[in-house]
Structure 1
Amino acid sequence: MRFGLLGPLSLRTPEGRAIRPARRKERQLLAILLMRANRFVGVDDLLGLLWDAECVPVSAQANLQTYVAHCRRAMGDDGARIETGERSYRLRADPGDIDHLAFEDLVSRGFQASAAGDPAQAARLLDEALGLWRGDTVAEGLVLPVDLQPELNRLTELRLSAQAESLAARLDLGQAREVAAELVPLIGREPLRERLWELLMLARYRDGRQADALAAYEEARARLDQELGVLPGAGLRDLHQRILRADPALAVSSGPMRNASTPVPRQLPREATAFTGRRTEADQVLAALSRPGSPVVVIDGLGGVGKTSLAVHAAHRIADRFPDGQLYLDLHGYSDATPMPPIEALTRLLRSLGATGDQVPDDVAEATGQLRTRLSGQRVLLVLDNAGSADQVVPLLPVSPGSAAVVTSRDRLGSVLARHGGVRLPLVELSPAEAQTLLTEIAGADRVAADPAGAAELARLCGHLPLALRVAAANLALHPTWSVEHYLGLLREGSLAALAVDGDAAVRATLHLSYTRLDPAAGRLFRLLGVVVGPDVSADAAAVLAESGTPGVRTLLDRLCAANLLQESSPHRYSMHDLVREYARELATEDPESAYARERLAGWYVTVSAAAVRTAYPITQRLPDAGEWADRSPLAFADLPAAQIWLDAELPNLVALVHDAAERGPRPLAWRLGDLLRCHFLPRAPILEWRAVAVAALAAAEQEADRWGEASACLSLAGVARRQARYAEAVEILHRTISVAGEIGWLNCQAAAYNNLGVVHLELTRPQEASAALRTAAELFRQLGDEPGEALALGNLGGPYQDLGLLRESIQLARRELSSAPKTPHMGNSLSNMASSHRMLGEYDVALAQAQDALDQAYAGGNNWSVPTVLEVLASIHRDRGDLATAQEQAQQAVTLATDRGYGRTAVESRVTLGTILAMRGDYAAAVEEHERALTLLSGAHSARVRLLALVGLAEAYRGLGRYAEARSRAEEALADARRHQLRLVEADAAKVLARIHADLGEPAAAEYRRLQEKI
């Protein structure tokens, strides 16, 4: 018998005869059983589903039995497919007999063919799958229970994904014209699906209709703005740019488009050695992950049962099906560390997918949305390990087809299963046979075969838990002369034979015996590893604990790994299972040496961090070295990349150390390490860690009443506020920094704070205040003999000078900076500022050469944050020279780069520049759209200068459209505000537009505004 749910409910005999149960409830019952085919559904669940929100009648159970009997009778010989279990029913069927299961299988194979680069096979399989649909909805005409809605939604979403993937495959087969024709009605039904717009643009482009392809982008942008108030995603914007520049790669299939600068993340930990048993469970995980859509698998069970090992093993086996990356994250849900908050988890995942610090929102909802956007159209596998609650997990789960997640937890996470239609895999202890096999793999077949009864007893004492068994077997392997009976005797001597088969107790029993049998040096290291507060430890750090050289400590680390007390999670980096870490920390609290070891390790982290910071950020202001943490670093760094690599690798440990020092002491460590991390945070802007470290450092300094620590932490906290455009807060904190630094005579900190204050005033369009602060900073740096600092302040001073119309003075400052100081990463900014001033003076050739030099320096120095800024300057120069095509291309690149990297103000400025270029090309409607979008994106905290330039540009665009009343209103508003802010050049631009408006209208005021423009 064939069953159909993809459309009206359908039952057909092998001869093709249709069967229709008489009662609505009977049809609903069959639909429910088909949706959960081959799984027993409890009677209570069926009663709740069938009567849904209605009051379940007293006769409901009897009615259900009647419905089942009627369905069996109607199905004839196939009625036996409805099987009775213990207060439950199941409809047994092969996947090929039920259309929605056949559909999912075909789609899965189609997606795999597409990923393997076989578009013909992909199109055939996907079209066959789509042909199984006989209507628009599942079980069309039946009202199904709301509890089934997530599954119904998943099937609908999968159908749309299959349609898109089929069209993409046919596009790769050269059917551009046909695909474009099919996409138009599909987009009409689903206008907010950006993947469909991308396919339409590409199809039209490959059909030789470049203008129509660009028109599709504009239509998509308008629909997204109108319906959702959002910009097109990165995929659409990137394709738009590639079409604009006629990228030759678009002429042929190139697969999913990806930012080439972002490496594919491969974060899976190493697999456990001698992974044994769990074959059935591993196959279940793989089967669940192979389902179409965005499958989620939750593996739950008690500590030590092997959840992580299974998840990692399965992830490695299926990794090739997720070519866009495999991400791993330990959520610390059940460790002694604080469970990872969702915003921190989201931040780490987004960074792994290429987001920079400025791009990551500090709001959970916004970050969740950004993660889903980045995963859209990608095939990424997430392994979310050690989850403590559903709230911790839900924001991290993928929702777009193609990606998948494996979650491990000691909790069942029922709401994750309910909300995402996930598959639960409860993991229990190993069977006696599997436990025996694991002991054999590690301890050796001869040992186990010599005493099978003893091995069985050992497995029982270990609770049949993989972690405990591994530790016990490793102990036997390390002592070849021991028999199983001898090992059991040692357990009995330790009074452990009476342990109940409880997870933690069984693990502790084997841990204790393994620890007591270590040689003294390895035992001491294991004990001292209990003082580590971060997630892992390097071999170098372990050597500090052991007070030995790195080569020597690696021997001890290898012994601990052999005893299964430690895992080498990546080359020369080591971590512990949560239960092992808890045991090590208990041992450390009983060891008097642990306090000295903790202090020794902390000092090492500070001194090595200081060496890395001096190498990577030599001109950044920081606290003077303290006596006990002076420059005695055992590690040296050859260059900037080497230092940054070390800081990135150790960042989780360093952040954890700051928090630990702030809570337990020594508190000076918190602000000293926080001060060093500020130097690393400045160019990278990982807002979450930065703010947490600065707050902890400030709290520690205040508790100790240390003014140096307070000034340093305030300087750091102000940097966070500035990066988040919280300018009023930044001003307040910087004034406090200046005051505290002045009291203690720390002129370097004062100078840095004045420089930052000037930049913030510039952001707030306060050119006079900005100039005063920056001149003070330059003078303080001069007194200190700090040439790079003075050059930085002078370079920044060029900004307010431009706002005040002092263009020649701005150029002189930039030249002074470039000639008087050694080359620094800030030199490109000075060149860019100088180029802008020359442009405003009409000296375009000089401006163009300087801007191009600035762009070359930005690329060569890896200063990605400055690239879109320089591109905007170049676009403005080409615009003023009359090369509008080049200007538009570079302005659009600036908009795309700044938006993708989260540089809000630069993105808005670039959009304003793009709007002026579009107006000059006569596309006034598009210009209006760009300027209005810029004004929408601007918050009250952003630069008034940018807002006023947008108003001037909008006025000019409205003039081009003949909307003179609106044009005059915007221009007059810009003129009045420019006068109030003393923005002379913007005032002149506003007067120029007003003169044109009045001239168009034949009004005498035109001459007045021309005179005002010339006067300015």
Structure 2
Amino acid sequence: MDPGPELTAAHEKLLAEDRGGLPLSAPAGPGVAVSPPPPKARTAPPPAELPGETAGFTGRVAEMSDLAGIIDAGQRIVVISGTAGVGKTSLAVRWGHRARDRFPDGQLYADLRGYHPEQPVAAGDALAGLLRSLGLPADQIPPGLDERSARLRSLLAGRRMLLLLDNAATVEQVRPLLPGAGSCVVLVTSRDSLAGLVAGQGADRLELDLLPLTDAVALVGRLLRSRTGDESAVTALAVQCARLPLALRIAAELALMRGVPLADLVGELSDRHRRLDLLATGGDPQTDVGVVLSWSYGHLPPPAARLFRLLGVHPGPDIDTHALTALCGDSRPAVDVLTRAHLIRRTDNDRFVLHDLLRAYAARLAATDDEAGPALDRLLHYYRLAAQTAAETMYPAERRRLVDSTGPDDAVPDLPGPRLDTAARSLAWLDAERANLVATAVHAERHGRPEHTTALTLVLLRYVEAGGHHDEAATLHTHALRAAARLGDPRQEAHLETNFAVILAQQGRYPEAELRLRRAAATTTDPAARARALGNLGHLHERQGRYAEAAALLGEAIDLCRTAGDATGEARALGNLGQVLLRQGHPDEAADRLGAAVVINRRIGDAVGEAYALISLAHLALRRGEHERAAALSGTALTLCRGNNEPGGEGYALNALGLARLRAGDHDTAIDLLRQALVTFSRLGERAGEADAGNSLGEALTAAGRFGPARAHHRSALTLATEIGDHHQRERALRGLSSVVPPESSR
């Protein structure tokens, strides 16, 4: 039965009230159709889709301020780029939450999964999600990409909204999602620099670097909830995790879960190859460091992927374009790809860096790459050739010794390299590559290429000795001696033992140096190698006051050098013998040996050897009262040392020149020169030189009537000379102290 008119009217009234007071239809007159009125729009809350903030967010104060400044200046698209795990999303989300009031129409979020191993989100699918978030029913979303993009721009027109497009891989993924001109702001996070957005859409870019060490340490402390007081372990953990927030969070959780002392975990993580396994969460690929890095690698084109793998062969902290070429040929396009993907970082001086976790991942990939072995060989040959070229340019007189001790390297290919045609360029290259050269030498010894370890170490001796790079020298020689033993080459072992002893003597470690020199002399029959060992042992005995032994050893070294035709070694031994004779009180014989050393050095072009002989002649002139001659000789020596990168010789020349000015009565100039000498020796760690210059400065200050400072310098020299066993400087310090007016009567 149909309802009656009254029931029908009541039902329509109820429906109208439910629809907001508007009737579904009105009574129709004859022949008139009446359409229902449009529905009244409901007021929906604005979307607030940003993920929650990362707990314990630390640092990034400057970056937050920079981001706010960019947007305050009117920029509407900002790309936040950086390497995997550096905290790009955390920064964007944190800024978005704090800027919520600036976007009253809401905040949209889309994870584009650009580096996810599964299919990244297509721009069309991302658009559909954004349109739904803006209230568009699913059946009204257009099917085509362009239509969806146009509808998004229409819906965003006039609104003040924030769009966070997270984890984008390409410009094509992002460009259709951008609003038109208006008041919306778009933040895009990506491991790629997305240069096309900058060029095409006028976007700005905020590069996110690794956390500063202080912030990384603070983050670890916050994550561990102050459960450790071991500051050194916290700092070490921050470094091992490459100051990456993602890795730091995983490591902190691992420490809390295990409940072991943090130092134990640091010890485990010291193996960078195992580090990736330890930083695996085991369940969530989104937070597994190795998995996250593999996503970046998996999106590389083949040439860039090859370069990234081969970079895992390189053992040093950074790499320049020449070493890159040696490693894998012309790699400029691939380098650009890796740079844009933030898998390598270009430094201000045009070098390239991988952070530790990326390097560990690259090394893991290289371990299964057949190209890795040949690439390492090319790299080792390149560094060996370039280092020898630089050393020979800086110290041309050393060329014979280098060939004698290392032998020719016929296997070195003709590789492009840096210009090393001047001493200044060679020094700059060696300074820039020092850490790489040491790491390469160690790596070669550990990976079955001992001949490169010994060659690099022998080549670098003069550079590390002159520069006071004692730690690097010790590392090089420790591994080189193992390599030489493996090669069964007693001649190289003798040269290496002698070199190590020279470095130890420079540090004032005379007993250790003597032990190595005696071992070197006893284990080789090669005349040149034995002569170097005996000559340096004689020089060491001269410092210890053992003058008769020193003279005998130096005489034997001179004979051996003449037999071997080693003019450089002969000149050095003659110079050292002249110094011994001067100490023994035989000035005429000393002058004869020193003069002969100068003649040989000038003939073979050894400016450094000549400088040291001139310094000794200057001291001889002082002994004879010839102050102006002493000043001229030491001045010439100073010029030679400064022009040939010999800072140790520069210190001794300054010392001799200061004494010459002191004897001439020019106290102020003498004090200034001697202070320079003392600073030079202190910087180099040349302890015998420190004692020498300290005594000289004490004498100058005494002559100037400044007795308190004079006493202090003589006391320091006495302590130092006693510690290292320098007989001459110890006696000189005692004489200086006895000549200083007691403190109560000093001025």
Q: How high is the TM-score relative to the length of structure 1? A: 0.45
Aligned counterpart in structure 1 of residue 481 of structure 2, from 698, 710, 733: 698
Contact between 1:443 and 1:474, CA under 8 Å: does it hold in 2? Answer: no
Identity of aligned residues (%): 26
Quote the residue 1:514 is aligned against.
299
Q: Distance in 1 between matches of 2:354 and 2:704?
A: 63
Offset at residue 640 of structure 1 (A) = 1.6
- Secondary structure at 1:938 match in 2: helix
Offset at residue 695 of structure 1 (A) = 0.7
Q: Distance in 1 between matches of 2:600 and 2:169?
A: 72
Q: Distance in 2 between matches of 1:565 and 1:607?
A: 29
Contact between 1:925 and 1:961, CA under 8 Å: does it hold in 2? Answer: no
Aligned: 1:587 with 2:365: yes
- Secondary structure at 2:343 match in 1: coil
Quote the residue 1:352 is aligned against.
none
Aligned counterpart in structure 1 of residue 168 of structure 2, from 439, 444, 447: 439
Q: Distance in 2 between matches of 1:769 and 1:309?
A: 72
Contact between 1:443 and 1:476, CA under 8 Å: does it hold in 2? Answer: no
Report the CA distance shift for 1:526/1:644 in structure 2 as closer, same or farther (over 3 A): same
Q: Distance in 2 between matches of 1:933 and 1:583?
A: 51
Quote the residue 1:936 is aligned against.
719
Contact between 2:467 and 2:684, CA under 8 Å: does it hold in 1? Answer: no
Offset at residue 592 of structure 1 (A) = 1.8
User: Aligned ranges for residues 546-585 of structure 1 at < 5 Å?
Assistant: 546=328, 548=329, 552-585=330-363
Q: Distance in 1 between matches of 2:507 and 2:89?
A: 40
Contact between 2:165 and 2:188, CA under 8 Å: does it hold in 1? Answer: no
Aligned: 1:819 with 2:599: yes
Aligned counterpart in structure 2 of residue 601 of structure 1, from 379, 383, 386: 379
Q: Output the amino acid matched with 1:611.
A: T
User: Aligned ranges for residues 596-745 of structure 1 at < 5 Å?
Assistant: 596-620=374-398, 621-622=401-402, 623-627=405-409, 629=411, 632=414, 634-635=416-417, 637-742=420-525, 745=526
Report the CA distance shift for 1:867/1:645 in structure 2 as closer, same or farther (over 3 A): closer
Offset at residue 697 of structure 1 (A) = 1.3
Offset at residue 730 of structure 1 (A) = 0.6
User: Aligned ranges for residues 727-876 of structure 1 at < 5 Å?
Assistant: 727-742=510-525, 745=526, 747-822=527-602, 823=605, 824-876=607-659
- Secondary structure at 2:724 match in 1: coil
Q: Distance in 2 between matches of 1:930 and 1:814?
A: 30
Q: Deviations over 1:257-296 (max 9, x none)?
A: xxxxxxxxxxxxxxxxxxxxx9995336899xxxxxxxxx
Q: Output the amino acid matched with 1:757.
A: L
- Secondary structure at 1:531 match in 2: coil
User: Aligned ranges for residues 874-889 of structure 1 at < 5 Å?
Assistant: 874-884=657-667, 886-889=669-672
Q: Distance in 1 between matches of 2:64 and 2:706?
A: 54
Contact between 2:297 and 2:305, CA under 8 Å: does it hold in 1? Answer: no
Q: Deviations over 1:919-949 (max 9, x none)?
A: 4555656544443343233333231111112
Report the CA distance shift for 1:882/1:712 in structure 2 as closer, same or farther (over 3 A): closer
Offset at residue 474 of structure 1 (A) = 8.8
Quote the residue 2:310 is aligned against.
528
Report the CA distance shift for 1:433/1:735 in structure 2 as closer, same or farther (over 3 A): farther
Report the CA distance shift for 1:836/1:739 in structure 2 as closer, same or farther (over 3 A): same
Q: Deviations over 1:712-751 (max 9, x none)?
A: 3312321221122111111110111122232xx3x33222
**Structure with bigger RCO (C-alpha 8 Å, 6+ apart):** 2
Contact between 1:828 and 1:854, CA under 8 Å: does it hold in 2? Answer: yes
Cα RMSD (Å) of the superposition?
4.0
Contact between 1:442 and 1:470, CA under 8 Å: does it hold in 2? Answer: no
Q: Distance in 1 between matches of 2:597 and 2:641?
A: 17
Contact between 2:554 and 2:576, CA under 8 Å: does it hold in 1? Answer: yes
Contact between 1:791 and 1:818, CA under 8 Å: does it hold in 2? Answer: yes
Aligned: 1:544 with 2:265: no
Offset at residue 902 of structure 1 (A) = 4.0
Report the CA distance shift for 1:799/1:633 in structure 2 as closer, same or farther (over 3 A): farther
Q: Deviations over 1:396-422 (max 9, x none)?
A: xxxxxxxxxxxxxxxxxxxxxxxxxxx
Contact between 2:326 and 2:415, CA under 8 Å: does it hold in 1? Answer: no
- Secondary structure at 1:797 match in 2: helix
- Secondary structure at 2:616 match in 1: helix
Offset at residue 503 of structure 1 (A) = 4.0
Contact between 1:858 and 1:867, CA under 8 Å: does it hold in 2? Answer: yes
Q: Deviations over 1:779-838 (max 9, x none)?
A: 333333333332222122221111100112222222222223334123222222112112
Contact between 2:617 and 2:633, CA under 8 Å: does it hold in 1? Answer: yes
Contact between 2:85 and 2:289, CA under 8 Å: does it hold in 1? Answer: no
Contact between 2:175 and 2:197, CA under 8 Å: does it hold in 1? Answer: no
Q: Output the amino acid matched with 2:639.
A: D
Number of matched pairs? 510
Q: Output the amino acid matched with 2:356.
A: D
Quote the residue 2:105 is aligned against.
none
- Secondary structure at 1:306 match in 2: coil
Report the CA distance shift for 1:661/1:285 in structure 2 as closer, same or farther (over 3 A): same
Contact between 1:751 and 1:777, CA under 8 Å: does it hold in 2? Answer: yes
Q: Deviations over 1:478-535 (max 9, x none)?
A: 9xxxxxxxxxxxxxxxxxxx964214255235224313xx1x4333333322212212
Q: Distance in 2 between matches of 1:576 and 1:309?
A: 21
Q: Distance in 2 between matches of 1:773 and 1:434?
A: 81
Q: Distance in 1 between matches of 2:303 and 2:590?
A: 65
Q: Distance in 2 between matches of 1:523 and 1:948?
A: 66
Q: Distance in 1 between matches of 2:635 and 2:89?
A: 53
Q: Deviations over 1:967-1016 (max 9, x none)?
A: xxxxxxxxxxxxxxxxxxxxxxxxxxxxxxxxxxxxxxxxxxxxxxxxxx
Q: Output the amino acid matched with 1:439.
A: A
Q: Distance in 1 between matches of 2:89 and 2:637?
A: 50
Report the CA distance shift for 1:447/1:809 in structure 2 as closer, same or farther (over 3 A): farther
- Secondary structure at 1:304 match in 2: coil
Contact between 1:305 and 1:465, CA under 8 Å: does it hold in 2? Answer: no
Contact between 2:571 and 2:600, CA under 8 Å: does it hold in 1? Answer: yes
Q: Which structure 1 residue ranges, 5 or more long, are not aligned?
A: 1-277, 288-301, 312-431, 451-463, 479-497, 964-1016
Q: Output the amino acid matched with 1:739.
A: A
Q: Distance in 2 between matches of 1:543 and 1:939?
A: 52
User: Aligned ranges for residues 185-200 of structure 1 at < 5 Å?
Assistant: none
Q: Distance in 2 between matches of 1:752 and 1:619?
A: 15
Report the CA distance shift for 1:779/1:661 in structure 2 as closer, same or farther (over 3 A): same
Q: Deviations over 1:575-607 (max 9, x none)?
A: 224343333223222222222222222222222
Q: Quick check: which has more Rg, 1 or 2?
A: 2
Q: Distance in 2 between matches of 1:308 and 1:784?
A: 65
Offset at residue 846 of structure 1 (A) = 2.5
Q: Distance in 2 between matches of 1:880 and 1:308?
A: 67
Report the CA distance shift for 1:564/1:573 in structure 2 as closer, same or farther (over 3 A): same
Q: Distance in 2 between matches of 1:632 and 1:710?
A: 29
Contact between 2:722 and 2:730, CA under 8 Å: does it hold in 1? Answer: no
Contact between 1:668 and 1:700, CA under 8 Å: does it hold in 2? Answer: yes
- Secondary structure at 1:912 match in 2: helix
